[in-house]
């Protein structure tokens, strides 16, 4: 299966990861090799088969609508580099 | 606005924030107005290793809505990941529903003027809300508040069955009325607990093919829904008549300038790559469960309205007014338990009481004037013991100072003078003090009638019965 | 004192109970050994001071006879399990500064059982890899031959157990990441039924495949450790609400075994040593009384392609939360939001992780979802059905763990060749079945493993069979 430059651009945009000139060739090669292996599935006729998302569906877990506030904003925000007055900060976005 | 032989086609997507105490997938509190990020737990922040657990109450609310609009209910609640990047979406995906919405096809009935119309609801599904990005607090940064991230939303999608801005507003009001009656949301558009996006396009009547549609966002009141849609229909028609194309895009409604403008969309050309949520096992909904929900539904607005029209002989409009929400309907029926005329009750509630509530920015459920107060006031009026103007004064007094109706009438001397002789005496006084005007009235200047009534009211500090004054005055004029 | 580090878990528990030695002694012995074998690079973090303090407390408890099941036993956790107030890196630059504000359920359960955490073991970045060569913290070396790979992604845990740096270590298995390193290092590794152990606080790679498990010196030890790690957790919606059997009792019980040998796999083993040792293992078990039955797993060869769509797809969404905004690596060069995302993620992730995100994104993208992702889910269903059918006839299924023994670090650069390391381990992950690996011989002078797969919740059964094998052989003994 062939991967085009446009496919790489699209993947890069959707995943928010840069693909630079140098690595794009070897990346195409790697991806094509993986997708060729994956295409083996085409040998199987699965038209009458249902997709299986969860191997086991026995337990149905839900939660009561009861408030629990066992976290501290200050402690959680220690994890972030850029914050102010309780907000998380990012570069300015123009909508 | 002239439609020039164009037919608007409108569909509304209404996001209703469910009235649960906690979020959809975490136990974080959801009260409006908290300090930024004080209601965002590890789960809401999407920290490494966290997992979602579904809020039972959200399912219950969604099922109530589904039953109320006679919709198909899904057998299993299956969630899906909608993938895109934005700072107010901590996990980089939103847990939503795609192919198996909990509520399937249903419908609601709306009324525009005298005409009724059935509007189809395509689906309603559960999803978590995103947080808030604030772009104007800092000069070089955007500020992210994740308090709202993860709160329960029910997204209700209508069929494109709406043909005018007016119909759109009626549909929105209907949805609002249903969700508030069911108690599943407070439907407050100003606080964002109900948000509306509109999909608008136009076509030639008779055309099967729909025109290109635009999506309108940032509409946060019923009034703006109407204005935004009117503007957009007009904009599209003008463009098409010039021979130009309509671009499929998202447009923001600017309420200050009353126009829609193209949005630098964060989700432009986004491929959401939906796939089933692996962290949540599909929850089975049994037919018994649905039957239980159906049985436990409160009386819905239309049914209640019909009942009021039939049982209390109310007009359509009046019935509509008192069933505007559950609290008002309940207040109305409480007043009626005191045996007063329903028509009078409607007038007092929707007239003076509403005005008072508005003035003090209070909900009817927190009214300082109780159903008993209203009932007693009306009884006194019906018995002609107090006049209309006195009653209004009473209402204000009860609101500001409290007290019992009978006590206040006595204390303030509001008892109406209905005794014909007493009033006639005062009327004669007024006539003698205003001979010229009386002659003018006699010779046909009818509007002076009010002047005389007014003078009598003044002399009696409002406690004369205006009906009696008018009657006596008429007698005198005809002599 | 160096003999202490050679003891099995079972013997350590006995020894501490008999007061033959103290927790202090054994903890210090391990800490010294960890220092001595630093070049193996098994640990990303070592908690020296804290371990010594905890050991003293454990000894106090033992003196008072206030003994929890694993009181004073030093262990290691794969650096994928969050521990409150400690660094959890997941082998990645992206989380090199991440100090978790909460603890994983795995850590909490074992901690509450009395264990002492010596440190966090090295691993392939974000659990993606089969050789422990993708860690930001450098390769882990195989203790038996330091030029060779210990396997991955739980290379650090497997090597640590082999090198006598702890009696057991926690690990995770998504496509074979416990069993394959166990095989390469000549130790015992078990991945339980999907949902048997809580994933709360276990950093997600592929949510429907990830499962926590144990690497230990033998089946009896693994049974004990797994017993205290397992159980229903409300915080994980995929956690099974099923009683945890007493694995410690079951591992030694008198049980009958019917072992299924999959025709499709056995016929295609290329490596002579692997084939011979497998046949040898089966005949040993047969002689001991197990019944051997040939079974079919007709779709087994499609496990690899299905896995390499499903796992990358789920991982592409699970890793979307890493953007530097709320935690984790944040790029210094971020003048726009787009830059912040792209630079933080490009700088923070290694090559293999990026490749898998790319593949996953591609397989979910518009136009490819049906051909890849949905197709893979259907193939998954076929593979699960194959197993369901087989388990009607047998109580466990046997096959080699890997098609070869360990390879030289740096010798495999073709991604597909690396992925094929997991060809025998992946099927059990797709079906969610419990599976383990025990040493069963050598190939090219390095250990190879026998894999046993059980039916749902039959961890006890395969541990029992593994224990039987280990009573009859000495492959699992460190020489």
> Per-residue pLDDT tens for B173-199?
999 999 999 999 999 888 889 999 999
Tell me which chain B residue has its CA closest to the CA of residue C374: B275
Q: Does residue B1 carry a pLDDT above 70?
A: no
Across chain B, what does the average pLDDT equal? 90
Q: Which chains have 3+ CB pairs within 8 A of B?
A: A, C
Cβ separation of A54 and B278 shorter than 8 Å?
yes
Task: Classify residue B234 by burial, with Cβ atoms within 10 Å: 0-12, 13-18, 19+.
Answer: middle
Q: What is the pLDDT of residues A35-93, one digit of tens each?
A: 999 999 999 999 999 999 999 988 899 999 999 989 999 999 999 999 999 999 999 98
A22 pLDDT tier (thresholds 50, 70, 90):
confident
C98 touches chain A (CB under 8 A): yes
- Least CB-CB distance to B273: which of C81, C321, C365? C365
Q: Residue B265 has what pLDDT?
A: 55
DSSP three-state, residue B108: strand
Task: Tell me what the mean pLDDT of segment B304-320 comes to.
Answer: 90
C390 pLDDT tier (thresholds 50, 70, 90):
very high
Chain B residues in contact with C235 by the CB 8 A cut-off are 51, 53
Cβ separation of C325 and B144 shorter than 8 Å?
yes
Residues forming a β-bridge with B11: B199
B268 pLDDT tier (thresholds 50, 70, 90):
low
Q: How many CB pairs under 8 A join A and C?
A: 163
Task: Tell me what the mean pLDDT of segment C134-152 comes to.
Answer: 97
Cβ separation of A56 and C341 shorter than 8 Å?
no
What's the CA gap between B260 and C216, in Å, rounded? 65
Q: What is the pLDDT of residues C221-279, one digit of tens each?
A: 999 999 999 999 999 999 999 999 999 999 999 999 999 999 888 888 999 999 999 99
Q: Residue B264 has what pLDDT?
A: 60
In chain B, the N- to C-terminal Cα span, in Å, equals 56
Q: How many CB atoms are closer than 10 A to CB C350?
A: 19
Q: Residue B442 has what pLDDT?
A: 85
Q: Residue B2 has what pLDDT?
A: 60
What's the CA gap between C27 and C40, in Å, rounded? 19
The answer to whether C417 and C167 are in contact (CB under 8 A) is: no
Q: How many CB atoms are closer than 10 A to CB C2?
A: 10
Range of weakest confidence among B221-235, B264-278, C81-95: B264-278
Task: Classify residue B332 by burial, with Cβ atoms within 10 Å: 0-12, 13-18, 19+.
Answer: buried
B6 pLDDT tier (thresholds 50, 70, 90):
very high
This prediction's pTM:
0.90
Q: What is the pLDDT of residues C185-196, one digit of tens each?
A: 999 999 999 999
Number of H helices, E strands in chain A: 3, 3
- 19-48 in chain A: CB under 8 A from chain B: none
C14 or B396, which is more confident: C14
Of residues B144, B228, B163, B135, the one with CA closest to residue B189: B228
User: What is the DSSP-derived secondary structure letter of residue C421?
Assistant: G
Question: Which DSSP string corresponds to B208-222?
Answer: SSPPP-EEEEEE-SH
B263 pLDDT tier (thresholds 50, 70, 90):
confident
B359 pLDDT tier (thresholds 50, 70, 90):
confident
C376 pLDDT tier (thresholds 50, 70, 90):
very high
What's the CA gap between B93 and B76, in Å, rounded? 22
Cβ separation of A33 and C339 shorter than 8 Å?
no
Q: Residue C95 has what pLDDT?
A: 98
Give the rounded distance of the alpha carbon of C293 from its chain centre: 28
Q: Residue B372 has what pLDDT?
A: 92
Cβ separation of B135 and A94 shorter than 8 Å?
yes
The answer to whether B122 and B58 are in contact (CB under 8 A) is: no
Q: Does residue C297 carry a pLDDT above 80?
A: yes
Cβ separation of B45 and C327 shorter than 8 Å?
yes
Cβ separation of B142 and A71 shorter than 8 Å?
no
Q: Residue B323 has what pLDDT?
A: 87
- Least CB-CB distance to C378: which of A46, A81, A93? A46
| Residue located via tokens 């308090």 | B147
* Tokens read off for B404: 């019992």
C268 touches chain A (CB under 8 A): no
Q: What is the pLDDT of residues C408-430, one digit of tens each?
A: 999 998 888 888 889 999 999 99
C96 touches chain B (CB under 8 A): no
Chain B residues in contact with C203 by the CB 8 A cut-off are 48-49
User: What is the DSSP-derived secondary structure letter of residue B300?
Assistant: P
Across chain C, what does the average pLDDT equal? 96
Q: What is the pLDDT of residues B73-117, one digit of tens each?
A: 999 999 999 999 999 999 999 999 999 999 999 999 998 988 999
Q: Provide the annotated active-site residues of C.
A: 78, 153, 177
Contacts of C292 (CB under 8 A, 6+ apart): C259, C261, C282, C285, C286
Task: Tell me what the mean pLDDT of segment B304-308 comes to.
Answer: 91
């Amino acid at each position: 299966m062939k991967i085009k430059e446009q496919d790489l651009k699209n993947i890069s945009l959707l995943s928010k990861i840069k693909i630079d000139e140098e690595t794009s060739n070897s990346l195409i090669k790697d991806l094509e090799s993986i997708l060729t292996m994956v295409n083996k599935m085409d040998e199987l006729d699965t038209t009458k088969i249902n997709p299986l998302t969860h191997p086991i569906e026995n337990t149905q877990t839900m939660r009561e609508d009861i408030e629990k506030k066992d976290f501290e904003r200050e402690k959680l925000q220690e994890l972030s580099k850029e914050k102010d007055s309780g907000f998380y900060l990012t570069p300015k976005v123009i909508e | 606005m002239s439609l020039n032989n164009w037919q608007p086609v409108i569909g509304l997507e209404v996001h209703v924030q469910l009235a649960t105490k906690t979020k959809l997938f975490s136990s974080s509190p959801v009260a409006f107005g908290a300090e930024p990020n004080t209601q965002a737990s590890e789960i809401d922040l999407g920290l490494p290793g966290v997992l979602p657990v579904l809020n039972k109450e959200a399912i219950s609310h969604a099922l109530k809505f589904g039953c109320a609009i006679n919709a198909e209910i899904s057998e299993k609640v299956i969630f899906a990941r909608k993938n895109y990047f934005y700072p107010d979406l901590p996990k980089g995906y939103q847990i939503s529903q795609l192919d198996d919405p909990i509520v399937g096809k249903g419908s609601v009935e709306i009324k525009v003027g005298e005409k009724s119309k059935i509007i189809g609801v395509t689906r309603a599904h559960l999803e978590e809300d995103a947080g808030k990005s604030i772009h104007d607090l800092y000069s070089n940064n955007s500020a992210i508040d994740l308090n709202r991230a993860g709160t329960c939303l029910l997204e209700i999608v209508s069929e494109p069955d709406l043909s005018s801005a007016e119909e759109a507003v009626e549909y929105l009001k209907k949805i609002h009325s249903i969700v508030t009656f069911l108690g599943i949301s407070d439907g407050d558009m100003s606080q964002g607990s109900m948000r509306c996006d509109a999909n608008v396009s136009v076509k030639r009547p008779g055309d099967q093919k729909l025109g290109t549609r635009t999506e309108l966002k940032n509409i946060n009141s019923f009034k703006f829904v109407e204005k935004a849609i009117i503007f957009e229909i007009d904009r599209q028609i003008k463009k098409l008549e010039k021979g130009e194309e309509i671009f499929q895009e998202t447009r923001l409604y600017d309420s200050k300038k009353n126009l829609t403008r193209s949005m630098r969309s964060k989700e432009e050309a986004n491929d959401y790559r939906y796939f089933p949520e692996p962290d949540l096992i599909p929850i089975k909904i049994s037919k018994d469960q649905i039957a239980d929900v159906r049985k436990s539904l409160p009386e819905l607005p239309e049914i209640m309205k019909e009942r009021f029209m039939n049982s209390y002989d109310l007009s359509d409009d009046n019935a509509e007014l008192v069933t505007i929400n559950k609290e008002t309907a309940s207040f109305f029926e409480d007043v009626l338990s005191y045996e007063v005329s329903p028509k009078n009750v409607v007038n007092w509630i929707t007239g003076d009481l509403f005005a008072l509530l508005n003035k003090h920015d209070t909900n009817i459920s927190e009214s300082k004037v109780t159903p008993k107060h209203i009932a007693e006031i009306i009884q006194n009026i019906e018995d002609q013991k107090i006049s209309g103007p006195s009653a209004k004064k009473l209402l204000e007094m009860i609101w500001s100072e409290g007290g019992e109706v009978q006590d206040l009438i006595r204390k303030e001397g509001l008892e109406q003078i209905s005794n014909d002789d007493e009033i006639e005496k005062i009327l004669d006084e007024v006539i003698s003090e205003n001979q010229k005007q009386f002659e003018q009235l006699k010779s046909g200047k009818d509007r002076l009638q009010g002047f005389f009534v007014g003078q009598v009211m003044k002399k009696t500090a409002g406690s004369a019965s205006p009906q009696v004054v008018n009657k006596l005055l008429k007698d005198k004029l005809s002599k | 004192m160096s003999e202490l580090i050679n003891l099995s878990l079972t013997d350590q528990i006995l020894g501490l109970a008999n007061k033959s030695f103290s927790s202090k002694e054994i903890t210090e012995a391990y800490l010294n050994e960890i220092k001595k074998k630093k070049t193996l690079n098994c640990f990303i973090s070592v908690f020296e001071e804290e371990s010594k303090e905890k050991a003293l407390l454990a000894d106090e408890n033992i003196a008072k006879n206030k003994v929890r099941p694993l009181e004073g036993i030093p262990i290691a956790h794969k650096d994928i399990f969050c521990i409150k107030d400690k660094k959890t890196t997941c082998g990645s630059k992206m989380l090199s500064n991440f100090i978790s504000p909460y603890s994983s359920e795995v850590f909490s359960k074992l901690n509450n059982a009395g264990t002492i955490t010596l440190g966090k073991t090295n691993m392939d970045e974000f659990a993606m890899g089969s050789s422990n060569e993708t860690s930001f913290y450098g390769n882990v070396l195989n203790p038996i031959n330091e030029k060779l790979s210990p396997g991955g992604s739980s290379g650090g845990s497997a090597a640590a157990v082999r090198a006598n740096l702890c009696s057991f270590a926690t690990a995770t298995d998504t496509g074979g990441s416990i069993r394959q390193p166990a095989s390469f290092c000549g130790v015992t590794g078990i991945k339980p039924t999907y949902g048997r152990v809580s994933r709360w606080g276990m950093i997600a790679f592929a949510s429907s495949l990830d499962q926590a498990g144990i690497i230990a010196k033998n089946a009896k030890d693994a049974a004990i450790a797994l017993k205290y790690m397992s159980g229903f957790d409300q915080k994980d919606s995929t956690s099974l609400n099923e009683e945890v059997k007493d694995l410690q009792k079951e591992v030694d019980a008198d049980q009958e075994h019917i072992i299924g040998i999959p025709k499709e796999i056995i016929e295609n083993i290329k490596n002579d040593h692997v084939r011979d040792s497998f046949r040898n293992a089966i005949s040993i078990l047969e002689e001991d009384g197990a019944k051997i039955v040939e079974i079919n797993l007709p779709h087994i060869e499609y496990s690899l392609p299905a896995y390499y769509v499903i796992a990358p797809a789920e991982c592409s969404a699970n890793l979307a939360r890493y953007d530097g905004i709320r935690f984790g690596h944040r790029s210094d060069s971020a003048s726009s939001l787009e830059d912040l995302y792209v630079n933080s993620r490009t700088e923070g992730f290694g090559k293999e992780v990026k490749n898998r995100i790319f593949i996953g994104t591609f397989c979910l993208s518009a136009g490819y979802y049906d051909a890849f992702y949905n197709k893979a889910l259907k193939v998954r269903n076929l593979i699960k059905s194959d197993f369901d059918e087989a388990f009607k006839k047998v109580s466990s299924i046997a096959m080699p763990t890997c098609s070869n023994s360990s390879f030289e670090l740096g010798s495999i650069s073709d991604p597909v060749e690396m992925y094929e390391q997991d060809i025998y381990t992946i099927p059990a992950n797709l079906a969610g079945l419990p599976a383990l690996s025990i040493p069963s011989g050598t190939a090219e002078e390095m250990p190879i493993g026998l894999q046993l797969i059980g039916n749902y919740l039959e961890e006890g059964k395969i541990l029992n069979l593994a224990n039987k094998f280990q009573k009859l052989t000495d492959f699992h003994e460190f020489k």
